[in-house]
């Protein structure tokens, strides 16, 4: 029985985490949209990005999208 190395599994998760953080910080995407793009749970993405502070412009854009969605 071959046991697959953990390095490749974690390396993939590290890449996804880095991408999630980049999407949140640079593009200001919502946690939900990042989770959908990466096929990860919202909670996982939230944990990966919880220390990222969005700009006022990014927050305004997210709030606008939320209002449009709720109409």
Note the pLDDT tens digit of each residue in 10-62.
678 899 999 999 999 999 999 999 999 999 999 999 999 999 999 999 999 99
The number of distinct structural domains making up the chain is 1
**Residue 1 included in any domain:** no
Q: How far apart are CA 51 and CA 54, in angstroms?
A: 10
**Residue 35 included in any domain:** yes
pLDDT at 1 (0 to 100) = 43
Q: Are 49 and 17 in contact (CB under 8 A)?
A: no
Q: Tell me what the mean pLDDT of segment 55-71 comes to.
A: 92
Q: Is the pLDDT of residue 7 over 90?
A: no
Say what the pTM is: 0.80
Query: DSSP character for 52?
Result: P
Q: How far apart are CA 70 and CA 61, in angstroms?
A: 14
Q: Are 51 and 22 in contact (CB under 8 A)?
A: no
Contacts of 66 (CB under 8 A, 6+ apart): none
């Amino acid at each position: 029985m071959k046991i697959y190395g953990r390095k490749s599994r974690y390396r993939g998760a590290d890449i996804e985490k880095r991408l999630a953080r980049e999407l949140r910080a640079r593009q200001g995407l919502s946690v939900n949209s990042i989770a959908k793009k990466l096929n990860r749970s919202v909670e996982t993405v939230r944990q990966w990005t919880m220390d990222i502070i969005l700009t006022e412009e990014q927050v305004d854009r997210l709030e606008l999208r939320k209002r449009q969605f709720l109409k």
